[in-house]
Chain A
């Protein structure tokens, strides 16, 4: 590679080149989320020092809260990268927790998880096919699907929670741990790593990004953009289903509203993480860290003693601010 090789200056040449390349490519935008995470962590560590923010059990709690958000966020990253959006994810998470709870009792823990994932994949397929073939924007299709799936989940067990008594399921997907590492953390890392590799190392990941960046250019090069958009929406719904499995495992129940209110949190996590809301730029690692940021915010607001109503308001304001900041960056670059 030839690069500029000016010799003098306070920074080593390699560092300056790296910075120059960052600035020319995507700006420092991809790193904002890490700075934000460190800043918020530091802030809460100081002002919530006496409220137990830094205790091991609280940090573990943040991790547990972040896990389903992160899993959903990884899936949502692919939907957004393809220039689609999936508003049905929260409802899919809830329905999947019920499906898993229902199936686990009769067919064992693997069947429970598989059935939940299959439900998600099918919902994503329907979302994708309607979006692509009927040419309705995905935000409308998935908004409709959100209602449909929420309704189905409410009908499924008459608003009652469904207990899960399968120890294997609860250990693998919820409270269990491998040595000192909780299984939720392991699943989050596995899903995040898999998503990162798929985005960067597999042809499909590059095609998702291409279709989202410039659909007609991708099509002109022979990429089947319809298939790509459908599979991207299937990915986000399947990830939401897996988040439902994790929530069910953690709480040992399936319920019609598990994860239902996570939609906005997930979108905020993904966008703060550096993914463009309108396609063509995506970061799986950023989405995972963004999820941790959102979980920390949630946790901090609770520890501050805000009432639920005030938490809602504060979270809404923070999300709008954060997304506005990251969108402004994206328009500039």
Chain B
């Protein structure tokens, strides 16, 4: 499955991460790591700080304090552009798809191929043909079925939109993929597809972080679970060593303390 060379090496380590919004301490001294070829669940009640943590890692928010290491080297991620250039791709809860653009344009947004040499690159002359054929290949590889690549996103169903957003992250996320509730709005079959997609990312050696409220998904696909409560990390456990009830107990605060 995972290649021995990269598996279990830390792709991303954060420590001492804190972020507050005015009086609200959204994240309080959080430390965690993501490993290559592993899927880590990020759990917690609403408002526990999960999305804030993802946004700090993906450069949307800048944390008040804390250190981030990527492949062992300390890195600042001041913007989403920097995060993406470091191989960190994110599927936000809102999906961040652009409705009036078509599927190809969304897959390649801010990663466009240009044609016409250096002048074309400077002007940003889009190489639509190349992007269309690569899109077909990306979606085919991930087994994502979209009726037409020229459809604008607003014409697609919720599941298809989600699939495009995940496909984009999978296509560009060479190292680290962060998924904020990627299957929240999906039907049973589509949700299963997403889980397959996560497994194939893992098998390709990508470090995956998965935010979800669904404990079945945690036990099905995740190796580790990190639990946040009121901005603090209260558990960091091997999924194999706990039950779903244990996880729920961490989330609700009935149990604390097991940081493995």
Is the CB–CB distance between B125 and A280 below 8 Å? no
Q: Give A67-99 as 1s and 0s: 1 = Cβ < 8 Å from B's Cβ atoms.
A: 000000000000000000000000000000000
Is the CB–CB distance between B96 and A221 below 8 Å? yes
**From residue 131 to 145 of chain A, which have CB atoms closer than 8 A to chain B?**
none
In the complex, A317 has a CB within 8 A of chain B: no
Most buried by A among B79, B99, B112: B99
**From residue 130 to 165 of chain B, which have CB atoms closer than 8 A to chain A?**
147-152, 154-155
In angstroms, Cα B59 to Cα A224, docked, is: 13
Chain B residues closer than 8 Å to A222, beta-carbon distance: 59, 79-85, 110
Chain A residues closer than 8 Å to B80, beta-carbon distance: 219-222
Is the CB–CB distance between A3 and B96 below 8 Å? no
In angstroms, Cα B110 to Cα A210, docked, is: 10
Is the CB–CB distance between B110 and A207 below 8 Å? yes
In the complex, B58 has a CB within 8 A of chain A: yes
Given A220-B90, A221-B109: A202 in contact with B99 (beta carbons within 8 A): no
Chain A residue nearest to B148 in the complex (CB): A1
Report the interface size class on chain A: 20 to 34
Most buried by B among A203, A214, A280, A333: A203
In the complex, B187 has a CB within 8 A of chain A: no
In the complex, A21 has a CB within 8 A of chain B: yes
- Selected contact of B147 from candidates A3, A202, A223, A333, CB within 8 Å: A3
Is the CB–CB distance between B152 and A213 below 8 Å? no
Chain A residues closer than 8 Å to B58, beta-carbon distance: 220
Main secondary structure of the interface of B (DSSP, over half): loop
In the complex, A237 has a CB within 8 A of chain B: no
In the complex, A209 has a CB within 8 A of chain B: yes
Chain A residues closer than 8 Å to B95, beta-carbon distance: 217
Chain A residues closer than 8 Å to B114, beta-carbon distance: 203
Chain A residues closer than 8 Å to B147, beta-carbon distance: 1-3
Is the CB–CB distance between A202 and B124 below 8 Å? yes
- Selected contact of A1 from candidates B81, B96, B97, B149, CB within 8 Å: B149
- Selected contact of A209 from candidates B83, B100, B155, CB within 8 Å: B100
CB distance from A222 to the nearest CB of B (A): 3
Chain A residue nearest to B91 in the complex (CB): A220
Is the CB–CB distance between A210 and B126 below 8 Å? no
Q: Give A21-41 as 1s and 0s: 1 = Cβ < 8 Å from B's Cβ atoms.
A: 100111000000000000000
Is the CB–CB distance between A202 and B126 below 8 Å? yes
Q: Which residues of A contact B (CB under 8 A)?
A: 1-3, 21, 24-26, 201-204, 206-207, 209-210, 213-214, 216-224, 280-281, 333
Q: Which residues of B contact A (CB under 8 A)?
A: 58-60, 79-85, 90, 92, 94-101, 105, 109-110, 112, 114, 123-126, 128, 147-152, 154-155
Q: Can you give 12 A-B contacts (C-beta < 8 A)?
A: A2-B147, A21-B151, A24-B151, A25-B151, A202-B125, A203-B126, A213-B99, A218-B109, A220-B60, A221-B109, A222-B59, A223-B81
Ranked 9 nearest A-B pairs via Cβ: A203-B124, A222-B81, A217-B96, A24-B155, A222-B80, A220-B96, A210-B98, A1-B148, A25-B152
